[in-house]
A and B are shown apart, each in its own frame.
Chain A
Amino acid sequence: MSAPRTIRRFPLRNRATKTLPLSRVSPNAGNKSATGIAGFDEITSGGLPRGRTTLLTGGPGSGKTIFSMQFLAEGAHAKEPGIFVAFEEAPDRLLANFEGFGWKLGELPKSTLFFLDAQPEPDLIQSGDFDLSGMLAALGAKVKEMRARRIVFDAIDIVIALLPDLASRRREIYRLHQWLLLHELTGLITSKSGGDELISAGLGFMQFMVDCVVVLNHRVEAGVSHRSLRVQKYRGSAFDENESPFVIGPHGLDVAVARTLGPMDANVTNERVSSGVKRLDTMLGGGYYRGACVLITGFPGTAKTTLSGAFAEASCKRGERTMFVSFDADATEVVRNLSSVGISLERYVKSGLLRMVSARTITGSAETLLARIKTLAGQQGARSIVIDPVYTLFKAATEISAHGVAERLIDWTKASGITLVCTSLLDEMSRPTDGATASSVSSLADTWIELNYLVQAGERNRGLSIIKSRGTAHSNQVRELILSEEGVTLADIYTAGGEVLMGTLRWEKESAERSENEVAAVAGKLKRVRIDAEEAELEVRAKSLQTELLAKKVEKTLLASTTESRLRELSRARGRMRELRGGDARPRGRR
């Protein structure tokens, strides 16, 4: 009989429960390992707990492996070598899958990122109790060799399921945890969905054992996929407890952070940018503020797209890179349609200054759309963005997530100093079920322009008014929006007797008033002439009367003098006659 040749015996000692130096276990909020996942490091103020273990749970396809790989890729690039223990998928397949994310995993030397293929062999037969010492011993050697700082076990439930009973499962998880702590590794253990599923798999207590638990969710609502992430616990650190939506973008996970604090205030400027309509700029006291969010609402056909197109053109004219996201029409259609009202965007599209995005082709949740818009805007380096209409963005979202998306959209543009012009249908805005969306966009918007139309005398005319414009004095007047080949102009509307007139009626009223004025002016002139004539006539008459009077006076004087001389003559003649007759008698007293 040949006895076993080598049986090595060592003094009994429990490696796993070796006392850890206290300083390394004490909570230290600043001691975190960045994951490189956009948004996640913000939520946890730095990343995963360094030197501790994090449990990452989630259903199939919830993004656990991507999360883990991104965590390791970030470490590898930050001189924190990592090991990926693959229980579920072969390392070469993993590498191929992650080629698209641009993390250059293949180029990383083996000394910074090592894959351990630990898939259970399909023909593995088990008989009796066993444990994971083999793996941990092998890993221990590897950790030492490459001075690894990070390690991922993806997915622990696969190997734990091989263990025959709950007690041994528990024991192995404990062993793994202690091993991680002993090696001061920042560990990330992924597992199938948490809660009951974990407990039935004997992994339930793991949630209590580890220092940090991150839950990934993936659900489909009304045919649209929604992903979200939640930090369930994080010992020794404050964290955002809410569910944060995330998308799997071109560079990995992109977690939506509700509020980007800090840079928000940095970009507030007093600079104005033209709305593309001169008169509107005047109404707003100089134009939109740079970095503001402008909301244009109105019924269909009230020239919302045209007004936003005018803004895009003005932006391009200033030489600023611009992006026009259209959910309604194809990009070429928008360009063609706008050229009919004198807004020529084609040359800017050709020169690359303007990027037209037809978002009809982008499907997915509001988060996905927002992430896509962000990515495209980043590529374009856009300083002005038009989203036409913004409502479509929220259509795919639930009420709560729509609010979040609206907030994040506006936060993002504000933080990056991007002037955002959104259009929205008014009836959609006012639909009660979408109240949250409507109120959130309209209350977050800095400037709200309402377009309306008035049907009068068989005509539909567009009216524009400013509902609000924060921080600027703005006109309270309704203006008529006139679209012509020359472009967009605004005209004063005609109000008379509490009636608002637009279009032809305004023109008619205006011209009627004009001719009325003319008639009045002519009549006035005529009257003056007539009065002048009368005056002249009277003057003439007065003169002739005066002359007549003078003549009469002369006549009167003449008459008086003739009478006197005749009387004198008469008496003289009588005396003479008496003398001549020799008188009968001489009058007494007389000779």
Chain B
Amino acid sequence: MSRRPVWKFLLYVADNAQNSLHAIANLNVLCTEHLAGECEIEVVDVLVHPERALKDGIFMTPTLVKLGPLPVRKLVGTLSDLPAVLHTFGIEPVAA
């Protein structure tokens, strides 16, 4: 657990909207189950920081941005389709 986390995520949510909550939950599952919790996650509420959404070009919520490792990838939605998310981010699924 001393290793520096390699996975950096930025999650844009809108208040406590249903889909945002889903996304947060799904991201938590992803981190704990497939990345061994080696994640650094920042959650931005666009309703509180609309200027960030504007600056970063985030128009749909929830949006998950994988900042590291490169390349940067963007994913929109509740992340409910876990295998697809893993595939997109190039994560080897951990067999249950």
Q: Which residues of A contact B (CB under 8 A)?
A: 1-10, 12, 15, 116-118, 121, 123-135, 137-142, 159, 162
A159 to B40 alpha-carbon distance, docked (Å): 30
CA distance A142 to B50 in the complex (A): 9
**CB-nearest residue of chain A relative to B19?**
A129
B50 touches A138 (CB 8 A): yes
Instruction: Apart from A126-B75, A129-B77, A133-B47, list 18 A-B contacts with CB within 8 A.
Output: A2-B31, A4-B27, A6-B42, A12-B16, A125-B74, A125-B84, A127-B75, A127-B84, A128-B26, A128-B78, A128-B79, A133-B14, A134-B46, A134-B59, A135-B58, A135-B60, A140-B50, A162-B60
A3 near B28: Cβ-Cβ < 8 Å:
yes
List 22 A-B residue pairs with CB atoms under 8 Å apart, sorted by A's residue number. Answer: A1-B31, A1-B32, A2-B5, A3-B41, A6-B44, A8-B43, A10-B47, A117-B57, A127-B77, A127-B80, A128-B77, A128-B79, A129-B18, A130-B63, A133-B15, A133-B61, A134-B60, A137-B14, A137-B47, A140-B50, A142-B50, A162-B76
Inter-subunit contact B50/A130 (CB<8 Å): no
Contact A131 B19 (CB under 8 A): yes
Pick the contact of B11: A1, A4, A116 (CB < 8 A).
A4
Contact of B61 among A134, A142, A162 (CB under 8 A): A134
State A137–B48 Cα separation when bound (angstroms): 8
| Chain B residues in the interface with A (C-beta under 8 A) | 5, 11-12, 14-19, 22-24, 26-28, 31-32, 37-48, 50-51, 53-54, 57-63, 73-81, 84-85, 88
Bound CA–CA A125/B60 (angstroms)? 12
Across-interface contacts of A141 in B (CB, < 8 A): 50-51, 54
B17 with A131: CB separation less than 8 A: yes
Which residues of the other chain, A, contact B76 by a CB distance below 8 angstroms? 124-127, 130, 162
Q: Which of B16, B23, B58, B80 contacts A138 (CB 8 A)?
A: B58
Question: CA A2 – CA B73 in complex, angstroms?
Answer: 21
A1 in contact with B37 given A127-B81, A137-B47 (CB within 8 Å): yes
Contact status A4-B14, CB under 8 Å: no
Distance between B1 CB and nearest chain A CB, rounded to angstroms? 8
Partner of B46, one of A118, A138, A159: A138
* Residue on A nearest B63 in the bound complex, by CB: A134
Distance of A168 Cα from B77 Cα, bound (Å): 12
Q: Are B14 and A134 in contact (CB under 8 A)?
A: yes
Closest to A6 in B: B43
Contact A130–B46 (Cβ < 8 Å): no
Which residues does chain A contribute within 8 Å of B60, judged by CB atoms? 130-132, 134-135, 159, 162
A132–B23 Cα distance when bound, in Å, is 15
CB neighbours of A1 from chain B (8 A): 31-32, 37
How near does chain B come to A172, taking the closest CB pair, in angstroms? 9
Q: Which are the 9 A-B pairs with shortest beta-carbon distances?
A: A133-B14, A128-B78, A1-B37, A141-B50, A135-B59, A128-B80, A128-B77, A138-B54, A138-B53
Minimal Cβ-Cβ distance residue in A for B28: A4
- Residues B17 and A133 in contact, CB atoms below 8 Å apart: yes
B42 in complex: contacting residue of A5, A130, A138, CB < 8 Å: A5
Q: Is the CB of B15 within 8 A of A129?
A: no
Do B17 and A126 have beta carbons less than 8 Å apart? no
Cα distance A1–B18 in the bound complex, in angstroms? 25
Q: A2-B5, A2-B37, A141-B51 are in contact. Are A130 and B80 (CB under 8 A)?
A: no
Q: Are A134 and B53 touching (Cβ within 8 A)?
A: yes
* Residue in contact with A5 in the complex, picked from B14, B43, B61, CB distance below 8 Å: B43
* Contact A134 B12, CB 8 Å, known A3-B28, A142-B54: yes
CB-based nearest A residue for B82:
A127
| Chain A positions within 8 Å of B80 at CB level | 127-129
Candidates B50, B78, B81, B84; contact of A137 at CB < 8 Å: B50
Contact residues in B for A15 (Cβ distance below 8 Å): 47
- Cα distance, A139 to B47, chains bound together (Å): 11
Instruction: For the complex formed, measure the closest distance between the CB of B79 and the CB atoms of chain A, giving whole angstroms.
Output: 5
Task: Tell me the minimal C-beta distance from A133 to chain B in angstroms.
Answer: 3
Give the one of A3, A128, A134 with max B CB within 10 A: A134
Contact at A127–B79, with CB atoms within 8 Å?
A: yes
- B23 to chain A minimum Cβ distance, whole angstroms, is 8
Interface centre among A4, A15, A118, A131 (most CB of B within 10 A): A4
Please give the distance in Å from B70's CB to the nearest CB on chain A: 14
CB distance from A422 to the nearest CB of B (A): 55
B43/A129 in contact, CB under 8 A: no
A123 x B42 contact (CB < 8 A)? no
Flag if B59 contacts A128 (CB, 8 Å): no
A90 to B48, CA, bound (A): 27
> From A164, which residue of chain B is reached at the shortest CB distance?
B77
The answer to whether A8 touches B59, judged by C-beta atoms less than 8 angstroms apart, is: no
Query: Complex Cα distance A140/B60, Å?
Result: 14
Q: Is the CB of B16 within 8 A of A4?
A: no
CB-nearest residue of chain A to B64? A127
Give which listed residue, A4, A12, A124, contacts B43 with CB less than 8 A: A4
Identify the interface centre among B24, B26, B46, B78: most chain A CB within 10 Å of its CB.
Answer: B46
Taking CB atoms, residues of chain B closer than 8 Å to A5 are: 40-43
Contacts A4-B11, A9-B16 given; does A135 touch B53 at CB 8 Å: yes
Closest to A172 in B: B60
Whether B59 pairs with A2 at a CB distance below 8 angstroms is no
A126-B77 CB under 8 A given contacts A4-B28, A137-B53? yes
Distance (whole angstroms) from the CB of B45 to the closest CB of chain A = 5
**Which residues from chain B contact A131 at a C-beta distance below 8 Å?**
14, 17, 19, 60-61
User: B77 contacts which chain A residues (CB < 8 A)?
Assistant: 126-130
Measured in the bound complex, the distance between the Cα atoms of B80 and A132 in whole Å is 18
Q: For B31, list chain A residues within 8 Å (CB).
A: 1-2
